[in-house]
Amino acid sequence: MKAAAFYEYGPAEAMQYADIPDPVTGPGDVLVQVQACGVNHSDLDSRAGTSRWPFELPMVLGAEFTGTVVGVGDHDGPIRAGDRVTAFQQYSCGRCARCARWRPDLCEAFEIFGTTRWGGYGELVCVPAEVVVPLQPGDDLLAMAAGQCAVSTAWHMVNRLALVRPGDLVLIPSASGGVAGALVQCAKLAGATVVATAGTAGKASQVSSLGADEVIVRGETDVAADLVRVTGGRRFDAVLDTVGGPLFGTHLSLLREEGTLVICGAHAGEVVPIDLIPLFRNGWRIIGFRVAPPDELATSLDLIRRGLINVPIAATFPISDAAEAHRFLERRQHVGKVLLVAG
């Protein structure tokens, strides 16, 4: 098959679209022909060698793919050739102590597509049948690829971790990314008032169109003062952060007593200073989070299917142009999700 693989870490052009061996399906695996695959910010780190995951090269990235089953091997279950499917972004062993206490996200033997095994930046992906998620015949495979990770992550942060309730005031910093845009919509569905920030006026108007009640453009002005102004001084019940970075402490300082900050990403900066005195005086909670459990993936696909959440597609590139897609994401001008699509 052809795939955009990289054989050593480096800039975007380290990914070469070329022939590589077809995936070898083992017992219980199915073979999926990729139709679309989301490009995640973490993919850029993986390719550059700055990710903290260990990689075995060559690697084919891509955890968020949709496609059509083209081979079922000796699998004798409900998955059939011709089925339109997606898959869990990662899956666990199902046998260890952490899996047994329903924390598969903490399993030490987990596998992640595009990290510990080849993912969707190619023509074919080998997928264990038990982690295949069937789609419905009318589903839009691009919309599902754009939303499967973003919406499930956002849904878990809003409803399981921050426990957002009707009437809550929620802050979503840097809301132009895929997950952050889904956070805006999930928090609105939960009944919250949503204040967001964005890097430019153009991005701010697109974040507004996703349903944010107020959007602050970060610029020369003091972001904290702007946020206090638009909220009339009311503090946030929750901060839903996908970026971290130098404003982390500012966002934290705007929480109410016993408020919660949930964080799932750090591409604005991985190491941040925190003033611990107000943290414990106010009883703030900081919760880290990485990947949603399977039931929330199913919930999220249904929200997309029903049109309740829309993840904007900023751009699509053929899989053969994966390097260009990475350069596009690195420029950080986009709003929404960048997709690779079959040529």
Closer residue to Zn ion, CB minimum distance, 104 or 173: 104
> What are 95's strand-pairing partners?
none
Contact by Cβ (8 Å): 204, 212: no
Closer residue to Zn ion, CB minimum distance, 103 or 165: 103
Closer residue to Zn ion, CB minimum distance, 105 or 139: 105
Residue 132 and residue 122: Cα distance in Å, rounded? Answer: 17
Closer residue to Zn ion, CB minimum distance, 1 or 96: 96
Closer residue to Zn ion, CB minimum distance, 66 or 90: 90
Least Å from the CB of residue 98 to Zn ion: 5
Closer residue to Zn ion, CB minimum distance, 107 or 261: 107
How far apart, in Å, are the Cα atoms of 177 and each of 147, 196, 287, 329? 12, 12, 20, 10
Residue type, 40: N
Residues lying near Zn ion in the complex (CB under 5 A) = 92-93, 96, 99, 107
Name the DSSP letter for residue 162.
Answer: S
Least Å from the CB of residue 231 to Zn ion: 42
Least Å from the CB of residue 92 to Zn ion: 4
The torsion angles phi and psi of 254, rounded to 5 degrees, stand at -95, 5
Least Å from the CB of residue 104 to Zn ion: 6
Give the pairing of strands 193-198 and 2-6. Answer: unpaired
Least Å from the CB of residue 127 to Zn ion: 18
Least Å from the CB of residue 90 to Zn ion: 11
Closest CA to 299 of 193, 209, 186, 171: 186
Structure tokens at 223: 């972001």
Residue nearest to Zn ion (CB): 107
Cα Rg, the chain, nearest whole Å? 20
Least Å from the CB of residue 12 to Zn ion: 34
CA 296 centroid distance within chain: 13
Question: Does 312 sit behind a cis peptide bond, omega within 30 degrees of 0 on the bond before it?
Answer: no
If you write DSSP's letter for every residue of 52-83 in order, what string do you get?
A: SS---SSEE--SEEEEEEEE-TT--SS--TT-
Least Å from the CB of residue 133 to Zn ion: 19
Residue 63 and residue 303: Cα distance in Å, rounded? Answer: 20
Residue 217 and residue 219: Cα distance in Å, rounded? Answer: 6
Closer residue to Zn ion, CB minimum distance, 128 or 173: 128
Closer residue to Zn ion, CB minimum distance, 93 or 308: 93
